[in-house]
Amino acid sequence: MTYLRKFLNKALLISSSFVAVTLYANEKTDYNMPVGVTEVSTKIFDLHMLIFWICVVIGIIVFSIMFWSLWKYRKSKGAVAADFDDNFWLEVGWTVAATLVLVYMAVPSTQVMVEAYDDAEGEINILVTGHQWKWHYQYLEDDVGFFSNLSTSQEQIDGDMPKGEFYLREVDEPLVIPINTRVRFLITGNDVIHSWWVPDFAVKQDAVPGFINTAWTNVPEPGIFRGACTELCGIKHAFMPVVVRAVEQEEFDAFIAEKVALVEAERMLTSKVWTKEELMERGESFYATNCSACHQANGKGIPPVFPALEGSQIALNDTDRHIEILMEGVQGSAMAAFGNMYSEVDIASVITYTRQAWSNGENGDGVIVTPKDIVDYKNKIDL
Amino acid sequence: MSTIVETHDHGHHGPAKGLTRWLFTTNHKDIGTLYLWFSFIMLFIGGGMAMVIRAELFQPGLQIVQPEFFNQMTTNHGLIMVFGVIMPAFVGLANWMLPMQIGAPDMALPRLNNLSFWLLPMAFGILISTLFMPEGGPNFGWTFYAPLSTTYAPSTVNFFIFSVHIMGVSSILGSINIITTIFNMRAPGMTLMKMPLFVWSWLITAYLLIAVMPVLAGVVTMMLMDINFGTSFFNAAGGGDPVLFQHVFWFFGHPEVYIMILPAFGIVSHIIETFSRKPIFGYSSMVYAMASIAILSFVVWAHHMFTVGMPLAGQLFFMYSTMLIAIPTGVKVFNWVATMFKGSISFETPMLFSIAFVALFTIGGFSGLMLAIVPADFQYHDTYFVVAHFHYVLVPGALFGIIAGAYYWLPKWTGNMYDEFLGKLHFWLTFISVNVTFFPMHFVGLAGMPRRYPDYALQFADFNALISVGAFMFGLTQLLFLFIVIKSIRTGKKAKPEVWEGAGDLGLEWTLSSPPPYHSFTVQPQVK
């Protein structure tokens, strides 16, 4: 029957193209798991390929028996059904065979797992905190830290500008770690659950609020390694990539020294006398990085989930409540408590900015909030 | 004492006229039909959402929808396909076929049956209505992990919780009915180990449902308390544990995935023996395999949570227990192949779908085995590799099982043969598009594309465009299925009672006329 021939031809064509695509995938790492750069990631890749090939072999055996039977015992060729069913020893045989294959898979899997799982302290320990929708990195030994935000522009996302090579895989400040050093990551979440993933290190660990998970790596070569957030965390889930720069020890030391100096400089800034223009300028850039995802660049928000700031009574006439919201957040909403995350200067400048920007400056009281006001607020709360 | 005089003439019982036939029906076939049409409509609604998702993902950048709406689409697509398509379709098939397969006139609890169905449109009406509310519908994924689904959820989450409760009640009532029917209404001589495999698969599924739906109800109730009454089950700031949510959810969720596949095992077993003209190889091991899968499903839940931060011993335990499931699943596949071996095989549409089921479900099984390997799962977890895996077991798995069952029993239901040419066309278009859609997802996943992303990096662009084309083709093809079903209801070659050559010996349903009488078996048949 021509129909049947067509059926088998198609079945053969499709299965062989699967195998072809699979082989292609094996060679071209764009379509397979990255081998990565660490010892653990390489072992995981080898394990992945081992299990994959075992599955391919089992698949070929089972499918060839099946398709051969379909071809050989087709009714159109006059096949008459045999009258048998059940065979105890055959049933026992394939059950035992399946079990043995699984044991063969379980042994290397357990070995790699034991090696990947190791929560001993690192030479460097970094606290990784997932925020909606950015990562914060804190170097625990040196007590310095910073946020890492997506640096791809909104124009690229909306298609108003050509997309760059590292579209959605670039950040303003990557995490920097030294090579040939055991680095332990302590991973937690600030609001919802995020998940910190760097494929080249084979590190993926959920960032759960209230809990600290650990992961570790030891990178043998300098380079830039890109990853992503892999636990659904809200509207900007796809827009909080991970970028890690592994560098020589000297470069790392210089990086930390620079960060320490910056923290010192920030402290000095609090006591400086600020003009409205200085605050506005700083506030505008802070707003663009940290606030516009929800409240939008034009201050109109996405009501009712993310309220508008333009024309808001709080932004117009209620300075005390405005400071309080920035410092403590709003319970039961996505508005986080920024008080402990950013400096007094940043908080003061963004409050000032939102009280002046758009039409708020004309319609509101136009109060300027200075870093000193924030310090006063903190002192008042401490009492 | 008074006696009740029967004035009712049972001989002329038939369906009521008009809308009330469907609203008040207690007939297993009418309710089965309602379930099947409901699930068919939901397939197009949930499928429409998938089309929105694929249209947005056709190329990088945000073109069609914003991330907020995209998240509502992925969430509702998942919820509708799981609770609104696969589960009701299986219940519909059970309603139609169980009484006919065990030689009963109807289900044991007909009024309860009516209630179980009519709860469903209410539940989904509530769920879908949230999409039109100002804050939008649920947007936290079909797995609704806290605290994204509690503290950070839109207020419409309360409607979602209510809707899940109603779905749960419907499933539990349906399961009670199925278990009662199977235990009490079998024809004389039909011992448990003589029951058709579809009946067995549903008996096991019904127990799974009764065991886990209350767990789902519990977890959404805890959410409700956290959101509205100030408790802190899942709120770390109040001493709760967000991970507790995942443990409770997946304790429901993993048996749930077997709820969505076991009845398909039953259907496919019948079809393969019918068109191989040879009894199923290893009937009893098929039953034991299904029972083992069901029991194991209670001790593997945390393999969905390998990256959540578990002790090493926990990770290894859940890896081993998950790998164990490959044994009974493998036994089933081997048995299907052994049934075809030395048969006399013909390739009608239900058989084509069943063969594709065996092949593609096995591929889904392989990726499942890969996902069980914890260290490798660190790389696969929450990427498109997982999306590929569960779509392989749910679309060419569960859905193909349902479609195969529909073609297999459609002539029995309607009394008309469906159009075989169109059926085969439907099969080939579906088979090709399903693979074009879901096979490349393995590759984008391995290459590092996380799931639930409305926008992605440039290196995933080619495969995503291909996936979208496949998805549109798959979606359109199902309109052909709708046409075939309607055509077979209205017209077609008259079907004989046994419908398929030699099927008369295979089950009691083939001894009834096509279409069968309104009260299937008014006289109990004797099973030898």
CB contact under 8 A, A59 and B366: yes
Whether the CA torsion A160, A163, A164, A167 is positive or negative: it is: positive
> Amino acid letter at A152?
T
DSSP letter for A172, please.
Answer: S
* Position with higher pLDDT, B486 vs A1: B486
pLDDT bin (cut points 50, 70, 90) of residue A332 is low
- Angle B336-B337-B339 from CA coordinates, rounded to 5°: 65
B407 interfacial to chain A (CB closer than 8 Å): no
Nearest Cα to Cα of residue B137 among B84, B39, B68: B68
**Chain B nearest CA to A228, separation (Å):** 8
Name which of A21, A31, A47, A333 to mutate to probe chain B: the one with the most chain B Cβ atoms within 10 A of its Cβ. Answer: A31
How is B80-96 classified by DSSP, letter by letter?
IIIIIIIHHHHHHHHHH
- A203 interaction partners in chain B (CB closer than 8 Å): 378
Mean pLDDT across A11-23: 58
What are B92-108's pLDDT values in tens digits?
999 999 999 999 999 99
Q: Is B518 on the interface with A (CB under 8 A)?
A: no
Residues of B in contact with A34 (CB under 8 A): 447-448
pLDDT in tens, B64-95: 999 999 999 999 999 999 999 999 999 999 99
A131 strand-pairing partners: A134
Burial of A277 (0-12, 13-18, 19+ CB in 10 A): exposed
Q: Do A86 and B67 lie within an 8 Å CB cutoff?
A: no
pLDDT > 70 in chain B, percent? 98
Q: Would you say residue B387 has pLDDT above 90? A: yes
Residue of B nearest to A304 (CA): B135
Classify the complex by whether its ipTM is higher than 0.95, answering yes or no.
Answer: no
Q: B355 and A237: CB-CB below 8 Å?
A: no
Query: What's the alpha-carbon Rg for chain A, to the nearest Å?
Result: 29
Confidence of residue A333 (pLDDT cuts 50, 70, 90): confident
- pLDDT, mean of residues B339-362: 95
Cα–Cα distance measured from residue B418 to residue A268, given in angstroms and rounded to the nearest whole number: 82
State the average pLDDT over residues B250-274. Answer: 96
Strand partners, A148: A135
Rg of chain B (C-alpha set): 23
Q: Report the pLDDT value the prediction gives residue B1, as an integer from 0 to 100.
A: 40
Question: Could you give the angle at the alpha carbon of A199 between the alpha carbons of A195 and A203, nearest 5°?
Answer: 55
A110-156 pLDDT, tens per residue?
999 998 888 788 899 999 999 999 999 999 999 899 999 999 998 99
pLDDT for the residue A277: 86
Given a contact cutoff of 8 angstroms between Cβ atoms, the answer to whether B524 and B187 are in contact is yes
Q: What is the pLDDT of residues A215-258, one digit of tens each?
A: 999 999 999 999 999 999 999 999 999 999 999 999 999 999 99
Tell me which of B20 and B171 has the higher pLDDT: B171
Give the whole-number percent of chain B exceeding pLDDT 90: 89
Instruction: Name which of A63, A99, A304 is nearest B327 (Cβ-Cβ).
Output: A99
Distance of CA B259 to the CA centre of its chain: 7
CA angle (B49, B51, B57) in 5-degree steps: 110
- State the amino acid at position B235 in one-letter form: N
Residues of B in contact with A58 (CB under 8 A): 366
**Model confidence band, residue A358 (pLDDT cutoffs 50, 70, 90):** confident
The per-residue pLDDT of chain A, averaged, comes to 87
Residues 6+ apart with CB under 8 A from B94: B32, B174, B178, B202, B263
Residue B59 contacts A, CB cutoff 8 Å: no
pLDDT digits (tens, 9 = 90+) for A24-56: 555 445 788 999 999 999 999 999 999 999 999
Cβ pair B112, B177 in contact under 8 A: yes
Please report the pLDDT score of residue A17 as a whole number: 60
Residue A16 confidence class, pLDDT cut points 50, 70, 90: low
Q: Which residues of A touch B277 (CB under 8 A)?
A: 75, 81
The residue assigned the tokens 């890690």 is A244
Contact (CB<8Å) A25/B355 = no
Please determine, for residue A108, whether its predicted confidence score (pLDDT) is greater than 50: yes
pLDDT of A4 over the 60 cut: no
Cite the active site residues of B: 77, 106, 142, 170-171, 254, 256, 258, 269, 303-304, 329, 332, 451
Give the pLDDT score at B2: 47
**Which letter does DSSP use for residue A211 in this model?**
-
In this model, does residue B454 exceed pLDDT 80?
Answer: yes
Mutate to test the interface with B, among A113, A185, A243 (most CBs of B within 10 A): A113
Chain B hits for A232, Cβ within 8 Å: 71, 140-141, 145, 148, 452
User: Is the pLDDT reported for residue B277 higher than 60?
Assistant: yes
pLDDT > 80? residue A304: no
pLDDT, position A124 = 93
Q: So what's the pLDDT on residue A14?
A: 59
Residue B345: pLDDT over 50: yes
- Residue A296 CA to residue B198 CA, distance in Å, equals 55
